[in-house]
Structure 1
């Protein structure tokens, strides 16, 4: 199947999306509204994923899965991380979980206590702050203003206190699309090792990287940094598997893994990873490299289209993200705040976007809007035209 066919407007099944795509998307908005909201592709999943699910289903058994996770998925994750990210992982210390979001929470639940502190970026996805506070700890914010060319992590070290236990790294960074350089990560790792801090590295976006940018996993650096690192990933962004609720937590330290497993409640069957999700994720990692590569080619074109069209609007400025299929546009010169701009675009242009509110991304998102461009060129062009018709007088 060609790139054009896989990611054309004809491949987007709007009637099905309007029934199934929730979380601020097609099934959640009024008829006639185009949602460029939650980071979830409009395209169907790759054929090998569909085939793997059908094959497993036709065999007719849905027994309890291994609480340690589906062995083929653990092997596939280790192989993929070695092949694509130069990180050596032991499959025995990989724990499939029911989403990357739960993986973040599980790490916080396992390694943070009341009165502890964890450092998060600002702006960043709300799940970090939510998970830290859910276990009674305190989130301490480190500002990384939009379009910061090089982060001085030396300033982050000033936030480290006797209560600090963890640094939360989101790489690439949602919502800004920044991809951290090797030099930046080495400095962050040095601080973590010096102060004996865990690094929670959320790498769910690590396959969505736009050329010429190169992704570096902090776990690929020296062994001392790797021992401090816990990796989290998922399959919703790269492969469209949000509804199958599947992610993974990956440890390099056996004692970390044992603690995670104990706190996961997998062994008691109170919690666990969906076996169909694990089968689908295995197929994605083992059989869908070509699909993902073509998806990235399409996304880079959609990124360029989105950024170009947004920058034609007076008062709006948008830099090209290095990763993530998200445009984070500065609207401060329009005279509207994020909420007002969201309402105006929704009600007048019939396009749903995500406002840069503190509840979603932290105080550093004020004056911005986030737009997901993981859709077809036809849908995206129509949405951009609607926005321009409302905002260009």
Structure 2
């Protein structure tokens, strides 16, 4: 299922936007946005086609399709070991919107929220978009153990939230139960909410294991707002589907009211909800095969990158991105990204503050969710053009 024959380059060049095939000149290999080059699982394709064939695209319930809410509750109980009632689960327009909506619901102008550094830019954007202040907590790539007790030094009377990205994009760090318990202790001591972005939680490489922060104890579950999505695990980015899961009526009502779903100004794509439901109910074996492929691609990527002079890459524990220290080249992240694009015809994401925060300078990020043939060619071009 995950060979070069299943990568439809002609379609990707028509449809894969967001810094990928459709936005770059012919001949450039995009290892940019964390989006798979493979088509989604056949059961998802078939479910969407069946729904579309009937010809009715009516409004769905503003709280989301009951079958998706139930499927998410079952999934979190069986896989993540967290109990969420379906009525406290809100399907939303992507995990990215879930992050923004949570910030919009629980932060006010002048409030502070602690975010990681480096981390995906969506956290800073969402916090600042509602007039709050993003306070960075440094987690250097390759950190063996994060001492979350040090995070307490950043807490002020204005702090309202800790934003957890686990696994951590872009470094691939997967947090241990011990680390997460320290984070929960700080949140409990200062009565802070935990925004837990878990969109990458299915993409974890052996021997590492994922722990959902809300699974640790009842206190953690009570103060955690969990956000998930289906773009990373199941290739559904264009269907714009994610979900917010909470443990109590007060949190749900606050988020639901802020969402404007009840007004039809916003709402979750019905086709996306059909696809997500099918993914959860019928595609675990497909995901297991995808993970076997990704593990091979990760190992290939890390081995080849560490053979390049001036590069140093620690194997990510989760996420299908590699975060490469390029300080040995003597180049900045922006200059190296430009060189690779122009000479090697390979597009990567530079470690600029606008993408990942100040802690990303001296790094580049590349995605390896593609075929071995495409990845090997890209890595060959990178090596050849840095000699």
TM range, smaller chain: over 0.9
Question: What do residues 145-182 of structure 1 show as CA deviations (whole Å, max 9, x unaligned)?
Answer: 11000001111001000000000000000000000000
Q: Secondary structure at the match of 1:267?
A: helix
Corresponding residue number in structure 1 for 2:151: 156
The match for 1:357 is 352
2:251 equivalent in structure 1: 256
Equivalent residues in 2 for 1:133-282, closer than 5 Å: 133-282=128-277
1:3 maps to none
Provide the C-alpha distance between the structure 2 equivalents of 1:314 and 1:14, rounded to a whole number of angstroms. Answer: 31
In structure 2, the residue matched to 1:24 is 19
Q: Does 1:103 align with 2:98?
A: yes
Tell me if 1:40 matches 2:35: yes
Q: CA RMSD in A?
A: 0.5
Q: What is the SS of the residue equivalent to 2:228?
A: strand
- 2:338 matches 1:343: yes
* Alpha-carbon distance in 1 for matches of 2:168, 2:136: 14
Task: Classify the secondary structure of the residue corresponding to 1:172.
Answer: coil
Structure 1 unaligned runs (5+)?
A: 1-5
Matches of 1:30 and 1:90 in 2, distance apart?
47
Deviation per CA, 1:290-313, whole angstroms, max 9, x where unpaired?
A: 000000000000000000000001
Deviation at 1:333, TM superposition (A): 1.1
Q: What residue is the counterpart of 2:79 in the other structure?
A: 84
Q: Does 1:381 align with 2:376?
A: yes
Q: Which runs of 5+ in 2 are unaligned?
A: none
Task: Output the CA distance in 1 between the equivalents of 2:77 and 2:50.
Answer: 28
Instruction: Report how far residue 106 of structure 1 moved.
Output: 0.3
Separation (CA, whole Å) in 2 of partners of 1:81 and 1:373: 27
TM-score, with normalisation over the residues of structure 2? Answer: 1.00
2:161 alignment partner, SS class = strand
Structure 1 equivalent of residue 49 of structure 2: 54
Aligned to 1:326: 321
Tell me the distance in 1 between the aligned counterparts of 2:348 and 2:305.
13
In structure 2, the partner of 1:294 is 289
Measure, in 1, the Cα distance between the counterparts of 2:11 and 2:110. 47
Q: In 1, distance between residues paired with 2:282 and 2:54? A: 20
Figure out how many residues of one structure are paired with residues of the other and give that number: 387
Aligned partner of residue 261 in structure 2, secondary structure: coil
Task: Give the TM-score normalised by structure 1.
Answer: 0.98
For residues 251 and 178 of structure 1, what CA distance do their matches in structure 2 show?
A: 24
Deviation at 1:55, TM superposition (A): 1.0
Q: CA deviation at 1:84?
A: 1.1
CA deviation string 1:76-134 (max 9, x = no partner): 11111111111111010000000001000000000000110000000000000000000
What is the SS of the residue equivalent to 1:80?
helix
Greater CA drift, 56-65 or 194-203: 56-65
Cα drift, residue 63 of structure 1:
0.8
Q: For 1:63-85, what per-residue CA distance to the aligned partner results, in whole angstroms no more than 9, with x for missing partners?
A: 11100001110011111111111
Over 4 Å off, 4+ runs: none
**1:58, CA displacement in angstroms?**
1.4
**SS of 1:27 mapped into structure 2:** helix
| Residues 227-276 of structure 1 deviation map (CA, whole Å, 9 limit, x = unaligned) | 00000011000000000000001111210000000000000000000000
How far is 1:194 from its partner?
1.0
Q: 2: distance between equivalents of 1:235 and 1:222?
A: 26
Distance 1:78 1:47 in 2: 23
What is the deviation of 1:60? 1.9
2:312 corresponding residue in structure 1: 317
Q: Work out the CA distance in 2 between the residues paired with 1:312 and 1:38.
A: 24
How far, CA to CA, are the matches of 1:226 and 1:161 in structure 2? 23
